[in-house]
Structures are given as structure tokens and as C-alpha cells.
């Protein structure tokens, strides 16, 4: 009670004394402060004459958490949330963590200011730590009277130009206490402040020119004029120049007589051409396939702008009054075709006849992109850029860092040659190729120019920390990391024998020149390691680049068996019986376009643009293909309507309307009879077929940039004759799109019809759409006709058979995604080579969480810094676009960061409040039974004026570089592999995600960078708990490696869901085989040891027999381990050994692990089948503990427990005091020994225990 009284009365007494005008000295104030020290009042030694001399602490504030960039307790933000709880000018600040540790005792780098507050930044902390969670409070003087802030400066007292005057500003004295009437508060200092001011110098300038007057003549040459006004601030100023401007005008000549000379006939009335009376030019225009070309323009080559006629529906034209001669040519032109010029030859008749074949035009497409080059200053280099197209591209433009190079200076065409290189010529180069049909830009190439005296490869290695085994703690530091060093990953200038070729003869890279063997002291044992001591330039390791995968049906995963695989027009292979395929990618490939064709015609031909890893290795793709719709019979002589998007319970998206007599054979002859029509529609309302999207939904813009499309549906057409033998074409076919399905009104005017170029994977424009209201009957059995609005477009079905209803979309962003080895999300454990896919969704109106349709499908492969996926986004409406994101590695689906039961920004990787705006949800958010392998987000475009949205995970389209270079602590979305704890240690360090880091050494785990062989042994564990199992891998028979370590592998066993007390581990070991010199075979010495109280109870009989038949045979006298010389042969599941060879080490390991889990030699599973395909069996019983814990004893018998604790404390101090008959809880004798040993260890620092009585 007295404390509360002091708390309340202390300030009141002090304020009363201050108001009464009493004067207190410092000692009196100090005594008052001492008496009320428990009242949160403190003495402020800096005394303001207008304060009481006392200051008060605020409450504690904690408005931020250390996630994201760090912990920011900004004074401005605190005032925003707690407006009246912080004074305007605090005099002190106290900072503590939420665990009540002062900021200076945390050892963290922090910042503070009484003006700004307190902040701690994560990236400034040592050893990858993040900031603690801090809260702050402030010390404020309870001011009675204070000045407000100065107001704005008033206007200058003079308004004349170039003059000097006075301006003033004011402030107000405010009291915090009520004052009697007519009494104003007193504040030191003036109310008003004045300063000198000056006006702008006198100026005079001309205003805008007025409009030109009319020309003085109507034909011939004349004059016209215009005026302007002088704007001046003083009459003494004048504007330079004239107020009136006159120029010549009149470009229309006055009528003159026609001067055209016609050897035959006479000039036309407008004198534009010659007319030969009685002569008529007739012609027949067809495509190279024989199909008549309608609507083609006919003109003379000499006057191409003067259209004389157009072809009819049969491809024919007639031009009366045409003159002929040796120099007379007719020009035939039409969109999508190459213009053709043919001569008009005279004959004895009045009829002239020409036949013209038009070739379909093709837009330019880059087939040879410029390559990265490295040179020394003063050398020379050639960059090449080649393109195809019809007509052949005839214009080339080269750019350096986005600036066009002068063709007159550099004299370039397909190749750009730079001589006597300078340092400033380093940078990015790309070319643009143009033809009459369009333009396209190449991928950028980087030219690096080193100074002559500058070494391109730093001989001193960079720091590279490798993690040591869990039981390896280095004495002195207790660190689990060791610096093995690594060489920088950059290229070097190489041989200049072929320096002017498009591709250098050989590439040189910065690599390991010297390795040194070092032993790491782990306390109880030593661990060998190879450390990089010197780097230098050498020939680059060129691993194979592969794309692997499986082609299956989108509806039921039926494999595409023996399908044909095309790159361009060349067939490069076939799919396997299970739909599998492997494609070796040429090293100079920038865009991999592959066409899968089904010879049985069960599936439609599918064009895919694959992503691949340019650094080598294989990338796995699951390819979905659409099943071809069963054909329906239609009459070629009637108007036929085919609905697009027959989704049960919903209206069709559109329809195809085919006029009568529109079908024709390949010869051009009109087809009459029954047509078997098959139209397969890719309905965007069905998200399960999004991954079956052909191509990559991109088109080439007018400036040559590859730009994205947003689809409203695609369809593939297949028209055949009645015998189902010959493929038919169709003339003017109408495509109708129901506008009810276009939810974004701005898309109505930009909708276009596109067709897919199967050779390039690029969508090319076929035509526009026009809005029209028409009567239409719905699909799905509806017969009622109603008036609806459709977008109508026209097209011809010739060679191409796949079409698209798309709009170009300019609201684009990039999404940052990273993949990790585990749910610990450690920056050093990022996964590379993971295929991240993003499906753009459009929400159903009013239900932002329910996607209505998908609009785009994109995939990107992760690199060392994650991946940036293109996506559509919107700045005004956060949920205008949503997206599903998935991650696959080697056929394995990775899990997304969870969103339930609680949204944790530190786990998801995105800080608040941006996370709420994005509405992050994992696929099992509402239904735990669903898979956890996808995440859904709103694609809200970041607001550049909001600091919380400028750090990812969504970046504006112009911020691609910022997205690609974003630090690991910046906001990003996360995926992780679902696997047990594992550890891998290589004596010769190697990054499996970057094959170029391979080092040729006898102790390299992988001896060949072109081919990687993964070996696993299946170990079965009998026991109630999961156990860590280790393999120690040493050299066995090779003279260079015998007895030396290759590496260590640890893996925790995985529980079999069908057997409660059984688990198994798929443990990697070093395969036997040739080492890197390909000289002789080494049979690796393998030791398998469970890291628990285990004994071996079984060994696979076939494996034991194999080892006996292939000596030398190792003794296995120890029951807790198993030793063997690894088999050279690739044994199978019958032996419990699983071996897989691949060009990518991670894919080889993934396939081997999948087979090991499944217990078969050709299967794949992620659920452990512990009894299948086992090599070794261990029994690891759990040790029984019968003694109750202290907490349990306190609950069951608190009196006896406390008495026992008191007695033990006295005995440990040498005091033999016995009170009462308190009993000690009994436990077995084997547990007694352990308890006594623990007690001795804990009391050894005190006096020795004198108790000799054993427990009962």
C-alpha cells in the first residue's frame, strides 16, 4: 500500500512545489528521487528551468520482430502506434531483449539514436546470426511550457525581380497545465524570427510558337509564317531573336500534262501506269502445298503501292488493260507469305496468263547466339549471330550494354569483330536480326577484357567452409566447420590460335592447381581432408548437358510409348516403353525446343521448350501430353459449329464455325463429303492440364524481345477425309470467343489469335478479334438460342494445327523462390537444379481463393542463388492474379513451407505485413489430407513507396537483376526436401550442384565428371527408435589410395509405416571402379556402423556369397559393424545393393534412393519398405529407464521427494543428517551405477561425497 502511495503522491508533490514557485536544489531533488526510486521516476541532471526537474520512464515498446532484415524499434513508428505515450524530445532510452538482457551484453551490432530510436540489422551480425527480439522505453521530461515547431517562412516583403526584402516565421508557446484566465505561458526566446530574402533575377524568355498560317498559294511554291510572344519580368529586359518566323510552303505541283511514255498502249487517266486496250492479264495464285491463296494483292513491280487487283476465293485474279514487255513484272503479296515477282511475257493472243506459287513466310529466329568470351587487353575477338527465316533476314544490329554500335565504324553483319580490345569494351553484347516479317534479339553474351598485367585467376583460394561430422569437434574452437578453400569460378583467356572463330577452340577456367593433404583433429580421432592451396588457369571441365524425363498422358499418366522426338525438323530419338527419354543438349544451345509426336496418333503432337543447366548434368522434366479427342463426322457442304471447352456444368468458352465448302485437299482441290473432325481443347478452367501447355506461351514483339502471353484457351485441329487417310485443310474458319469468360475488360481489345511454330516454339500472330453480338445456341445439350457478345476472328488452317486465344500482358513481375536440403532452411544448404514451376491463375469474381482459370505456365531451374519466375501481377488489386508454385528435383516433389497451424514468417521466408497481403497458403492449408507440395499466393505488385515491399519476394519486371542478385536474407518463398537427417563428407571437396568444381584427384568421391555412379546399401534396424547409420569409405586395393579415406556418409533410418518397430536406412557408399586416371580398379573398403547400441543379426546370403567368391574377403568378427570390399559389379535388390549411373550426381542418387526405398531394381518409392531388398539387419533395442524423473516424483510424492533432495544436498556437503523415515524411490542396480557416476561428476568440483550407503 505504501509503495502505491509513493507512486501516486511523489509526482503530485513535486508538481505542486514547482507550481508554487519553490526552489529546490540538486541534493533535495536527489533525496526525493531516492525516496521514490520504486515509482519509475528518475532524476535528470540536465535541469530545464521550465520543468519540475523530474523525468518519467515510458512503458516498454516492441513493435517489430527480428525476422526479415532485422529488428527495427523506430521512434517514428512507435509514435504512430502509441501517439500520446512518447514525448516529443526524450532525454534517455533503455534497450533490453525480451529475455531481459541489455543490448550491450548481447554481443550484437546495434544502433540507437534519441531522434530515430533503436535498430539491429541481421546482415551485420557475425557468423550468420540474426538479431534478438528487443523492446525499448524512453525517459521523458514532463514539460509545463514549451515552444511548438517553427512555422513556415512567410512571403518576401518585396515582389520586384532582383530585389532584397525581409521574411519572417513564428512559433507558439504552449502550456501542458491549465492556466488562470489572462495568464499566458512563459517560454524563453522570441516568438518571431526574421531573415533577409531576395527575389529571382530579372528574366526574359520566348513563349511557344503559334500555329503556322495558311500557305499563300494553293499550288506551286508559296510562304507561310508564325509568331511568338516575349515573356519578361521587367520592362528593361529584352528577348533575343525574332518574334516572327517565315518558311516556304507548297508541295503540290500545279497541273501539267502527263509525261509518261508507253511503248504499248497509252497512259492512264491519272498518269500512273500504261493501259493496253483489249489485253487482259489472268493469274492463278497458290501456296506451295497447292492450296488457293485468296485475298492476295496484285501490282506491278515498278509501282508496288498501286494495287491493280486481288485474288478471289479460288486464288485467281484478272487485270484488264495490262501491257507486256521484257521489263514488266507483276508482284503478288499477302500477309504470312513471301512476296513473289513474275515476268509478264507477250504472246500472239490477247490473253496473258501467269501462275504464281507463294511460300509461307517465317519470322526470323536465332539459331546461333553470341557466346561469352574472355580476352586480354590488345587482343581481338569475334561474336557471331545467325538467324533463319523466310525471307532470309537481311539486317543485323549489334548492341554494347544496350547502345547500338555504328555499322559504319565496326562494319558488322552476322559477325562483330573487335580488334585491339580496350578495357572499356568489356560488357554485354547482343544482336538484333530483322527481315520484312519482323525482328528478334539474341541472348546476351559477356565479353571480359583483362588488363595485360592483371592475372585472370587469383592464385589465392577463396574461403570455403565444409561441415564436419557431428562427433568431430576441433579442440580449442569447438567448431564444426573447416576452411578447405576453393577457386573463383571465372573463365580465363585461352589459346589465340583461332581467336576470330565464332566459338573458341578450347575454354580455360580458374581451377585447382595445388591440393594439400591435411588432418583435422577431431579430439578422439583425426579426419583427413584435401585443402586447396593454389589456383590457376587450366582447361575447363566440360560435363555433358542432358534433359531427361518421362512423357505421359495428362488425364491418366499413360506413357507415350515409342514416340518420336524432334528438334526442329530432325528426329533425334524415341521415347521408351515407359515414356522415358534422354536428350543430350549441344553446348551452344540457348533455347531447347523439342517436339513429341505420337506415331499412333493417340495423343496430339506436343512442343515443349525445356530449361536445362548450362553448367552440366541432367535436369528432369515430367511432360504431359493431351489425348486427342475422338473425331466426329461433319458434312463438308454445310456450315459446321464445333464448341470449345465442353466442361460439365459450364458454358463453352468459344466455338469454331466452318463455312460450307471450306475443306480442301493437299492438292488444293475442294473436298466434298464427310469430314472426320477432331478438335482438342486446352481448357484453362481445368488446372490439371496446365502443365500440358505446348511451347512456353511467348511471342516476339516488334522490337525483337520475347514477351509473354496470357491464354484463354488453345485448340488443336485434325481434319481428315472419310477414309481417315488424307489430312484436310480449311479456308476461312471463324473463331468465336464468348466475352463472358473474359473477366478483365482491358483484354477485350487486345485479344488475338495465334498459331504455334513447331520448330521455334514461338507463338505467331494469325489475326485480331472483333466484338459482335450474335445469336448462338449453347453447348452441353442446350438448344435454346440467345443473343450474346462474341469476339470473332478469322483464320486459315494450313500447315499449322495448334492455335491459341491469347492477349499480350504487360503487368509482369518476378517471384523469388529458393529450394533447401531440409526444413532448417540453412543458406549453405540451398539446392540447385530444382525445376520450379509457376501457374498463373485468374480468381473467380468474388472468391479470390478459388481460381477460375489458369492463364500461363512457366518453369525455371534454380541456381546458386535460387530462381526468379516470371508471372503476371497487379498493383491495384492484390488478388487480380494468383499463382500456384511447385518444385521438382529428379522426379521428386519438394514440400513448400507450411502455412498451418500458424503463419510463421521466419519459416515461410517473407516478413509481415507483406505476407498477409500475398495471402500465402500451402496446398494442405484447408485440407490436411492434400499433398504439401504446392503453395498459392496473390501476385500483388510491390509498392515502391512501401519499404516493406521493396525487399522481395515479388519484384517488378524491371527488377530482374535485383531479384537474381537478392541476398539470402531477403524475402523469398521456400521449398525443402522431405528426407531424414543426413551428412556427407568428402576428403576432396566437391559441389554436386556445380559440376565445374570437380577436381581430378585419387581420393575424389566421383572419379569421372562425365559420368556419376551412385551406390547404396539397405540396412534394416529392429528397434523402437530411428538410428543414425554411418559408412566409412577407404581405399581398398588401389596402391595410391589403400587405407586412405574417401569420405563419410551418415543417414538416419526411416520408419516403415506398416511395422511399428522396424526402420531401414538407405546408406550411400563409395562405389568400386576405375579412379580418375583410368589406370586400375579400386575396391573400396566400406565399414557400416549404426550409431547406437546395436548388434548385427543378419547378412544378405547372396551378398555374403558374392563377397566370398570375389576375394579378398574381410573378417566380420565385430557384431556392431560390417566390413566389405565394395562389389565392382552393379548388384541389384536381391543383394540389398542399389547402383545407378547418370550424368548428374544428384539424379543418380535420387534414382538409387527411390529404388532402395522401394526394395526393387527398377521401381521408385518415397515410402520405406523396410523388409524389401535388405543387405544388413541390426538389432538396436531401446535401453529401459525405470527411474522416475524429478518432476514425476514431485507430482506423485512431493513430501518424500523434497526430504530426499534435502538429505542429498547435506550429504554432498559432508553433513550426515538423518531426519524422519523418509524413503528413497528404488530403481534397478544397473541404473544405480549410472546415477552414482553422474553424481560424482557433478560434485567433483565440490567436496568429495562421504556417503557410502547404497540405495535400497
Give yes or no for residue 179 having a pLDDT over 80.
Answer: no
Asked if the peptide bond before residue 867 counts as cis, ω within 30 degrees of 0, the response is: no
pLDDT at 1222: 35
Average pLDDT estimate for 65-74: 84
pLDDT > 80? residue 570:
yes
Q: Is the pLDDT of residue 243 over 70?
A: yes
So what's the pLDDT on residue 1067?
Answer: 93
pLDDT for residue 799 = 65
Q: pLDDT tier at 454 (50, 70, 90 boundaries)?
A: confident
Judged by average pLDDT, the poorest of 120-134, 178-192, 213-227, 843-857 is 843-857
What is the maximal distance between C-alpha atoms in the chain? 143
Q: What is residue 26's predicted lDDT score, i.e. its pLDDT? A: 40
**142-to-51, 85, 254, 347 alpha-carbon distances in Å:** 6, 12, 93, 113
Q: How confident is the model at residue 362 (pLDDT cuts 50, 70, 90)?
A: confident
Report the C-alpha gap between 32 and 48 in whole angstroms: 18
Q: What's the mean pLDDT in 28-46?
A: 35
pLDDT digits (tens, 9 = 90+) for 408-429: 998 898 899 998 999 999 999 9
Angle value at C-alpha 1005, between 1003 and 1006, nearest 5 degrees: 115
* pLDDT greater than 70 at residue 1184: no
d(CA 45, CA 65): 34
| pLDDT, greater one: 416 or 841 | 416
Residue 816 has pLDDT above 90, yes or no: yes
The burial of 136, by beta-carbon neighbours within 10 Å (0-12 exposed, 13-18 middle, 19 or more buried), is given as buried
pLDDT of residue 1237: 38
Write the CB contacts of 734 (distance below 8 Å, at least 6 apart in sequence). Answer: 656, 657, 658, 659, 792, 793, 794
Q: Give every CB contact of residue 451 below 8 A, 6+ residues apart in sequence.
A: 376, 377, 423
Among 288-292, 794-798, 1008-1012, which stretch is predicted with the lowest mean pLDDT?
Answer: 794-798
As a whole number of angstroms, the distance between CA 274 and CA 261 comes to 8
pLDDT, position 970? 92
Give the pLDDT band (50/70/90) at residue 847: very low
Q: What is the pLDDT of residue 1187?
A: 61
pLDDT in tens, 1133-1161: 899 999 988 877 888 888 888 889 989 88
Q: What is the pLDDT of residues 258-305, one digit of tens each?
A: 777 777 778 877 777 788 887 888 888 888 777 788 889 998 887 888
Residue 399: partners with Cβ closer than 8 Å, 6 or more residues away: 405, 429, 430, 431, 432
DSSP, collapsed to helix, strand or coil, labels residue 353 as: strand
Query: Is residue 47 scored above 90 in pLDDT?
Result: no
SS3 919: coil
Asked whether the predicted pLDDT for residue 589 surpasses 80, the reply is: yes
Q: Is residue 199 within 8 Å of 163, Cβ to Cβ?
A: yes
Confidence band for 1197, pLDDT divided at 50, 70 and 90: confident
Q: For position 1227, what pLDDT does the model report? A: 34
Contacting residues for 45 by C-beta, under 8 A, at least 6 apart: 26
Residue 354 has pLDDT above 50, yes or no: yes
Residue 972 scores a pLDDT above 90? yes
Q: What is the pLDDT of residue 1189?
A: 64
Query: Alpha-carbon dihedral of residues 99, 105, 109, 112, nearest 10 degrees?
Result: 80
Judged against a pLDDT cut of 70, whether residue 249 lies above it is answered with yes
Kindly report the backbone phi and psi dihedral angles of residue 712, in degrees, each rounded to the nearest multiple of 5, phi listed first. Answer: -115, 15
Residue 797: pLDDT above 80? no
- Cα 854 to Cα 856: distance, rounded to the nearest angstrom: 6
Mean pLDDT of 461-486: 85
DSSP string for residues in 178-227 = ---TT-----SS-SEEEEEEEPPPP-EEE----PPPPPS-SSSSEEEEEE
Please state, rounded to an integer, the average pLDDT across all residues of the chain.
Answer: 80
**Range in 215-219, 285-289, 346-350, 513-517 the model is least confident about:** 346-350
Question: Which has more pLDDT, 834 or 1195?
Answer: 834
pLDDT confidence band for 447 (50 / 70 / 90)? very high
Q: Report pTM.
A: 0.64
Q: Give the per-residue pLDDT at 882.
A: 86
Cell of 338: 513471301
* Higher-confidence position of 1242 and 439: 439
Judge contact between 972 and 896, C-beta under 8 A.
no
As a whole number of angstroms, the distance between CA 575 and CA 598 comes to 10
Within 8 A by CB and 6+ apart from 26, the residues are 45, 47
Amino acid at each position: 500500500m505504501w509503495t502505491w502511495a509513493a507512486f501516486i503522491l511523489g509526482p503530485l508533490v513535486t508538481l505542486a512545489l514547482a507550481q508554487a514557485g519553490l526552489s529546490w536544489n540538486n541534493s533535495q531533488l536527489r533525496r526525493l528521487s531516492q525516496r521514490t526510486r520504486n515509482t519509475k521516476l528518475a532524476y535528470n541532471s540536465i535541469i530545464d528551468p521550465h520543468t519540475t526537474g523530474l523525468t518519467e520512464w515510458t512503458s516498454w515498446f516492441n513493435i517489430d520482430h527480428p525476422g526479415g532484415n532485422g529488428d527495427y524499434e523506430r521512434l517514428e513508428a512507435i509514435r504512430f502506434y502509441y501517439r500520446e505515450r512518447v514525448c516529443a524530445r526524450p532525454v534517455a532510452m533503455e534497450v533490453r531483449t525480451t529475455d531481459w538482457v541489455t543490448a550491450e551484453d548481447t554481443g550484437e551490432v546495434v544502433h540507437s539514436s534519441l531522434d530515430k530510436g533503436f535498430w539491429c540489422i541481421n546482415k551485420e551480425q557475425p557468423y550468420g546470426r540474426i538479431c534478438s527480439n528487443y523492446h525499448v522505453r524512453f525517459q521523458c521530461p514532463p514539460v509545463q511550457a514549451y515552444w511548438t515547431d517553427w512555422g513556415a517562412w512567410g512571403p518576401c516583403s518585396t515582389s520586384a525581380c532582383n530585389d532584397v526584402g525581409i521574411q519572417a516565421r513564428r512559433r507558439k508557446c504552449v502550456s501542458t497545465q491549465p492556466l488562470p484566465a489572462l495568464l499566458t505561458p512563459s517560454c524563453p526566446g522570441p516568438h518571431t524570427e526574421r531573415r533577409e530574402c531576395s527575389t529571382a533575377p530579372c528574366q526574359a524568355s520566348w513563349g511557344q510558337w503559334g500555329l503556322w498560317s495558311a500557305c499563300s498559294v494553293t499550288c506551286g511554291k508559296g510562304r507561310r509564317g508564325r509568331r511568338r510572344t516575349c515573356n519578361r519580368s521587367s520592362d528593361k529586359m529584352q528577348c533575343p531573336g525574332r518574334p516572327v518566323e517565315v518558311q516556304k510552303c507548297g508541295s503540290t505541283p500545279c497541273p501539267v500534262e502527263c509525261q509518261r511514255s508507253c511503248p504499248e498502249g497509252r497512259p492512264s487517266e491519272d498518269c500512273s501506269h500504261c493501259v493496253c486496250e483489249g489485253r487482259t492479264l489472268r493469274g492463278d495464285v497458290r501456296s506451295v502445298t497447292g492450296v488457293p491463296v485468296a485475298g492476295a494483292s496484285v501490282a506491278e513491280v515498278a509501282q508496288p503501292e498501286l494495287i491493280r487487283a486481288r485474288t478471289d476465293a479460288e486464288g485467281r485474279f484478272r487485270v484488264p488493260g495490262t501491257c507486256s514487255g521484257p521489263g514488266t513484272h507483276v508482284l503478288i503479296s499477302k500477309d504470312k507469305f513471301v512476296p513473289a515477282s513474275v515476268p509478264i511475257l507477250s504472246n500472239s493472243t490477247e490473253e496473258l496468263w501467269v501462275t504464281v506459287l507463294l511460300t509461307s513466310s517465317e519470322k526470323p529466329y536465332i539459331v546461333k547466339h553470341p557466346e561469352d568470351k574472355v580476352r586480354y587487353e590488345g587482343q581481338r575477338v569475334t561474336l557471331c549471330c545467325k538467324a533463319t527465316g523466310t525471307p532470309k533476314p537481311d539486317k543485323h544490329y549489334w548492341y554494347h550494354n544496350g547502345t547500338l554500335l555504328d555499322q559504319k565504324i565496326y562494319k558488322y553483319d552476322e559477325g562483330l569483330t573487335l580488334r585491339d580490345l580496350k578495357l572499356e569494351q568489356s560488357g554485354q553484347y547482343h544482336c538484333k536480326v530483322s527481315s520484312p516479317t519482323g525482328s528478334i534479339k539474341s541472348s546476351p553474351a559477356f565479353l571480359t577484357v583483362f588488363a595485360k598485367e592483371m592475372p585472370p585467376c587469383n592464385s589465392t583460394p577463396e574461403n570455403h567452409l565444409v561441415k564436419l561430422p557431428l562427433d568431430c569437434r576441433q579442440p580449442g574452437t569447438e567448431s564444426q566447420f573447416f576452411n578447405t578453400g576453393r577457386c573463383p569460378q571465372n573463365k580465363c583467356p585461352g589459346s589465340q590460335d583461332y581467336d576470330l572463330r565464332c566459338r573458341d577452340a578450347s575454354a580455360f577456367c580458374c581451377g585447382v592447381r595445388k591440393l594439400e593433404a591435411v588432418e583435422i583433429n577431431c579430439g578422439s580421432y583425426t579426419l583427413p581432408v584435401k585443402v586447396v592451396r593454389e589456383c590457376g588457369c587450366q582447361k575447363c571441365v566440360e560435363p555433358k548437358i542432358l534433359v531427361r524425363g518421362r512423357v505421359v498422358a495428362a488425364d491418366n499418366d499413360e506413357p507415350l510409348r515409342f514416340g518420336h522426338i524432334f528438334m526442329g525438323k530432325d528426329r533425334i530419338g524415341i521415347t521408351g516403353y515407359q515414356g522415358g527419354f534422354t536428350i543430350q543438349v549441344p553446348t551452344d544451345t540457348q533455347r531447347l525446343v523439342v517436339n513429341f509426336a505420337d506415331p499412333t496418333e493417340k495423343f496430339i503432337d506436343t512442343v515443349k521448350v525445356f530449361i536445362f543447366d548450362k553448367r552440366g548434368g541432367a535436369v528432369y522434366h515430367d511432360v504431359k501430353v493431351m489425348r486427342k479427342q475422338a473425331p466426329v463426322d461433319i458434312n463438308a457442304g454445310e456450315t459446321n459449329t464445333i464448341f470449345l471447352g465442353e466442361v460439365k456444368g459450364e458454358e463453352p468458352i468459344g466455338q469454331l464455325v466452318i463455312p460450307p465448302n471450306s475443306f480442301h485437299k493437299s492438292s488444293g482441290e475442294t473436298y466434298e463429303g464427310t469430314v472426320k473432325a477432331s478438335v482438342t481443347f486446352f481448357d484453362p478452367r481445368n488446372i490439371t492440364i496446365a502443365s500440358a501447355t505446348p511451347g512456353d506461351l511467348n511471342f516476339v514483339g516488334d522490337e525483337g524481345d520475347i514477351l509473354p502471353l496470357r491464354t484463354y484457351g488453345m485448340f488443336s485441329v485434325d481434319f481428315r477425309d472419310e477414309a481417315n487417310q488424307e489430312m484436310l485443310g480449311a479456308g476461312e474458319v471463324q473463331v468465336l470467343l464468348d466475352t463472358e469468360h473474359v473477366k478483365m475488360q482491358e483484354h477485350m481489345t487486345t485479344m488475338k489469335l495465334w498459331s504455334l511454330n513447331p520448330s521455334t516454339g514461338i507463338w505467331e500472330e494469325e489475326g485480331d478479334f472483333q466484338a459482335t453480338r450474335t445469336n448462338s445456341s449453347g453447348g452441353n445439350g442446350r438448344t435454346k438460342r440467345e443473343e450474346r457478345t462474341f469476339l470473332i476472328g478469322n483464320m486459315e488452317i494450313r500447315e499449322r494445327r495448334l492455335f491459341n486465344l491469347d492477349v499480350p500482358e504487360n503487368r509482369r513481375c518476378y517471384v523469388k523462390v529458393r529450394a533447401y536440403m531440409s526444413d532448417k532452411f540453412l543458406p549453405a544448404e540451398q539446392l540447385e537444379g530444382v525445376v520450379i514451376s509457376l501457374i498463373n491463375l485468374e480468381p473467380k469474381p468474388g472468391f479470390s481463393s478459388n481460381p477460375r482459370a489458369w492463364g500461363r505456365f512457366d518453369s525455371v531451374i534454380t541456381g546458386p542463388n535460387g530462381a526468379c519466375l516470371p508471372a503476371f501481377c497487379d498493383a491495384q488489386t492484390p488478388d487480380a492474379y494468383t499463382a500456384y508454385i511447385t518444385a521438382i528435383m529428379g522426379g521428386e516433389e519438394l514440400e513448400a513451407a507450411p502455412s498451418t497451424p500458424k503463419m510463421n514468417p521466419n519459416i515461410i521466408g517473407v516478413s509481415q505485413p507483406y505476407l498477409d497481403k500475398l495471402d500465402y497458403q500451402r496446398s494442405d492449408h484447408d485440407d490436411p489430407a492434400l499433398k504439401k507440395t504446392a503453395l498459392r499466393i496473390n501476385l500483388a505488385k510491390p509498392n515502391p513507396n512501401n519499404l516493406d515491399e521493396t525487399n522481395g519476394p515479388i519484384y517488378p519486371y524491371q527488377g530482374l537483376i535485383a531479384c537474381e542478385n537478392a541476398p539470402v536474407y531477403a524475402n523469398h518463398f521456400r521449398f525443402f526436401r522431405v528426407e531424414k537427417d543426413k551428412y556427407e563428407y568428402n576428403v576432396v571437396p566437391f559441389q554436386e550442384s556445380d559440376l565445374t568444381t570437380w577436381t581430378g584427384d585419387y581420393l575424389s568421391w566421383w572419379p569421372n565428371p562425365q559420368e556419376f555412379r551412385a551406390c547404396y546399401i539397405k540396412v534394416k534396424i529392429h528397434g523402437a527408435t530411428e538410428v543414425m547409420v554411418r559408412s566409412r569409405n577407404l581405399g581398398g586395393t588401389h596402391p595410391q589410395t589403400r587405407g586412405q579415406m574417401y569420405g563419410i556418409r551418415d543417414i538416419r533410418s526411416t520408419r516403415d509405416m506398416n511395422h511399428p518397430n522396424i526402420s531401414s536406412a538407405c546408406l550411400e557408399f563409395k562405389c568400386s571402379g576405375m579412379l580418375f586416371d583410368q589406370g586400375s580398379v579400386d575396391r573400396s573398403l566400406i565399414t557400416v556402423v549404426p550409431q547406437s547400441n546395436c548388434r548385427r543379426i543378419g547378412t544378405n546370403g547372396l551378398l555374403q556369397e558374392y563377397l566370398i567368391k570375389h576375394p579378398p574377403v574381410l573378417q566380420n568378427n565385430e557384431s556392431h559393424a560390417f566390413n566389405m570390399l565394395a562389389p565392382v559389379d552393379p548388384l541389384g535388390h536381391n543383394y540389398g545393393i542399389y547402383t545407378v549411373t547418370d550424368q548428374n550426381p544428384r539424379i543418380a542418387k535420387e534414382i538409387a534412393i527411390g529404388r532402395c526405398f522401394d526394395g526393387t531394381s527398377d521401381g521408385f518409392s518415397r515410402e520405406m519398405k523396410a523388409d524389401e531388398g535388405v543387405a544388413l539387419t541390426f538389432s538396436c533395442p531401446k535401453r529401459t529407464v525405470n527411474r522416475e524423473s524429478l518432476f514425476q516424483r514431485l507430482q506423485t510424492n512431493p513430501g518424500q521427494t523434497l526430504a530426499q533432495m534435502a538429505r542429498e544436498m547435506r550429504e554432498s556437503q559432508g553433513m550426515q543428517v538423518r531426519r524422519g523415515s523418509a524413503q528413497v524411490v528404488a530403481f534397478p542396480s544397473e541404473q544405480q551405477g549410472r546415477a552414482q557416476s553422474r553424481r560424482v561428476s557433478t560434485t567433483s568440483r565440490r567436496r568429495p561425497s562421504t556417503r557410502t550407503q547404497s540405495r535400497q
